[in-house]
């Protein structure tokens, strides 16, 4: 037992040095004041938190949540069939499927995002092809639109969804399905009560990973959205740099972390409640 604890020491040290202490510093800064040059003034203030409840910033936060939830749902809808297919394929196909999904990660995230510009811009691949085929006369404005932002987000985060679901599906006890069929369950019923239920942990992990990554992402909105919208992470960044308002930026960060945690907990609750209901219904 004590040896076990000793083994945990590096992890705890790492977490406290690089996660907990920095977060506490941010939380501390959020209660400070600033002067006109952006220097921190060491006296207590909740001005940063007050500013957040301005309709402007509440609205920006709402936009961010809507975009993140939309991205998560689309990722889930695309990734589940993908993961399902890979998990049920022969081992060779499985390996290749996983490699194909992870290969894009060999390339830097920014480069992958810039590559979309080449595809989507007015003189880009998509527009050129469509005009070649004579389907459109004028190039379509694909880039710098909310659609392009959503596309970039979904594209970048699909692996985060596929991999956890794949692991869950692969580890599922497939004998349960046989049992369900033997008891006369339809294909859909068996899928709903067994496969879907058993892969719940994967769905959960995938959704949390995608949601959290999306809310913190501002590069995609800048590059593919033409910086025409403001996400909460853009605002946080600008408070620490251009606007020289660290207490407000820190307050936003604290609120951001807390609301994400609450949303994840609620989501977790909902998933568990569903699971219990299914169990009761089945009994």
Residues forming the site for other proteins (CB under 8 A): 36-37, 39, 55-57, 59-60, 63, 91, 94-95, 98-99, 101-103, 105-106, 121-123, 141, 143-144, 163, 167, 170-171, 222, 226-230, 234-235, 238-245
Nearest CB to other proteins, comparing residues 205 and 222 = 222
Nearest CB to other proteins, comparing residues 237 and 267 = 237
User: Which residues are CB-contacts of 189 (< 8 A; sequence separation ≥ 6)?
Assistant: 180
Assess contact for 215 and 65: CB atoms under 8 A. Answer: yes
Pairwise CA distance, residues 237 & 227, whole Å: 13
Nearest CB to other proteins, comparing residues 179 and 241 = 241
Nearest CB to other proteins, comparing residues 51 and 264 = 51
- Cβ of residue 106: shortest distance to other proteins, in angstroms? 6
- Cβ of residue 170: shortest distance to other proteins, in angstroms? 4
Dihedral sign computed on CA atoms, order 34, 38, 42, 46: positive
- Cβ of residue 225: shortest distance to other proteins, in angstroms? 8
- Cβ of residue 126: shortest distance to other proteins, in angstroms? 14
- For the chain, how big is the Rg over CA atoms in Å? 23
Pairwise CA distance, residues 172 & 186, whole Å: 19
- Cβ of residue 187: shortest distance to other proteins, in angstroms? 23
- Cβ of residue 136: shortest distance to other proteins, in angstroms? 16
Nearest CB to other proteins, comparing residues 60 and 212 = 60
- Cβ of residue 105: shortest distance to other proteins, in angstroms? 5
Nearest CB to other proteins, comparing residues 82 and 264 = 82
Nearest CB to other proteins, comparing residues 148 and 210 = 148
Q: Kindly report each contact of residues 199-202 with a partner whose C-beta sits within 8 Å and lies 24 or more positions away, as own/partner.
A: 199/80, 199/83, 199/165, 199/168, 199/169, 199/172, 200/168, 200/271, 200/274, 200/275, 201/164, 201/168, 202/83, 202/164, 202/165, 202/166, 202/167, 202/168, 202/169
């Amino acid at each position: 037992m004590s040896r076990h604890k000793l083994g945990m020491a590096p992890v705890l040290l790492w977490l406290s040095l690089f996660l907990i202490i920095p977060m506490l510093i941010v939380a501390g800064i959020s209660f400070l004041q600033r002067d006109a040059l952006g220097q921190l003034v060491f006296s207590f203030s909740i001005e940063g938190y007050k500013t957040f409840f301005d309709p402007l910033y509440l609205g920006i936060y709402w936009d961010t949540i809507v975009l993140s939830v939309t991205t998560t749902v689309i990722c889930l809808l695309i990734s589940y069939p993908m993961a399902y297919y890979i998990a049920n394929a022969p081992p060779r196909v499985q390996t290749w499927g996983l490699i194909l999904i992870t290969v894009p990660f060999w390339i830097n995230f920014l480069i992958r995002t810039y590559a979309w510009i080449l595809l989507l811009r007015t003189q880009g691949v998509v527009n050129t092809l469509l005009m070649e085929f004579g389907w459109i006369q004028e190039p379509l404005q694909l880039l710098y639109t909310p659609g392009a932002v959503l596309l970039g987000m979904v594209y970048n985060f699909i692996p985060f969804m596929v991999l956890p679901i794949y692991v869950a599906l692969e580890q599922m006890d497939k004998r349960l399905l046989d049992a369900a069929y033997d008891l006369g369950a339809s294909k859909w019923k068996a899928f709903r009560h067994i496969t879907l239920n058993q892969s719940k942990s994967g769905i959960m992990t995938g959704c949390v990973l995608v949601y959290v990554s999306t809310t913190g992402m501002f590069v995609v909105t800048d590059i593919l959205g033409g910086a025409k919208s403001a996400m909460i992470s853009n605002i946080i960044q600008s408070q620490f740099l251009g606007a020289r308002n660290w207490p407000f930026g820190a307050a936003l960060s604290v609120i951001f972390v807390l609301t994400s945690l609450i949303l994840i907990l609620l989501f977790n609750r909902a998933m568990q409640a569903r699971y219990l209901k299914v169990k009761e219904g089945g009994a």
